Copies of this chain bind each other. A is one copy, B any other.
Amino acid sequence: MLVRVNANPSHKSVPTELTALVGQTSLWHEFKYQRGTEVFGEAEPAEYVYQLRAGAVRTYKLLSDGRRQIGGFHLPGDIFGLENGDVHRFTADAIIDTTVWLARRENMFGGLTEVAATLKLVNRSLEHAENHLLLLGRQTALERTAAFLLEMDRRLQQPALMILPMSRRDIADYLGLTLETVSRALSTLRDRGILSLEGKMQRKIALHDRPKLAGIALGPHALPGRKFE
């Protein structure tokens, strides 16, 4: 039997946003990063804008003793590296083998369309960060895990089988938890029949009850008929 697995990345790219940022397509170059390698580092000058073609990227901050907070994951179609201003405020590296298109930021002339397109992207990042704040500050481990799954599900266009590129540790560092707690939360959701963990490495997840998952993500008092983004 055939099931839809994740989504076709090419459908997600938004050419309008690209051309608004850097007019000529010819200024974009393809580049590949091996799994685990750094795309850019925190505090480095932000020279390029990236659009992810294939693979996955995580952006994070580190504390001096190694604690890590992942700010977000970038999936095919996403534009990133721009939401940082002139200097990167995060480190970005490839979770799996990754292909990007990149353009020098100096090729952006600072015209109205470019600044407006940048504003739109930065604003989107801000909105994501704001939701992330509520998650980290005020939600339980189970709620965070449910919210993470729903976010990935939405961004992968609700595939029948979701293939996560990131490890349990990555998820934990995104959710402000430990990998053990994430693992336990996923097991709990499995035991409740909301999802099933498939495949040998357990990175394939099938969601069986999205409404119930959303109910968990929104907290105990969220009514069944409630809408969510």
A residues near B (Cβ < 8 Å) are 61, 63-65, 67-69, 71, 83, 85, 89-90, 110-112, 115-116, 118-119, 122-123, 125-127, 129-130, 132-134, 136-139, 173, 175-176, 218-223, 226
Contact = CB atoms under 8 A, between A and B. Distances in A.
A214 B130 CA distance: 25
Contacts of A175: 137
Contact of A134 (B61, B65, B118, B122): B61
A65 B222 CA distance: 8
A89 to B, nearest CB: 6
A65 B220 CA distance: 7
B138 A67 contact: yes
B134 A218 contact: no
11 contacts: A63-B218, A63-B219, A64-B222, A65-B220, A85-B127, A112-B112, A112-B115, A115-B119, A122-B122, A133-B136, A137-B175
B69 A137 contact: yes
Most chain B CB inside 10 Å of its own CB: which residue of A129, A139, A218: A129
Nearest to A68: B138
Contacts of A125: 126
A63 B176 contact: no
Given A69-B137, A138-B68, A122 B115 contact: no
A49 to B, nearest CB: 14
Contacts of A119: 115, 118-119, 122
A65 B130 contact: no
Nearest to A140: B67
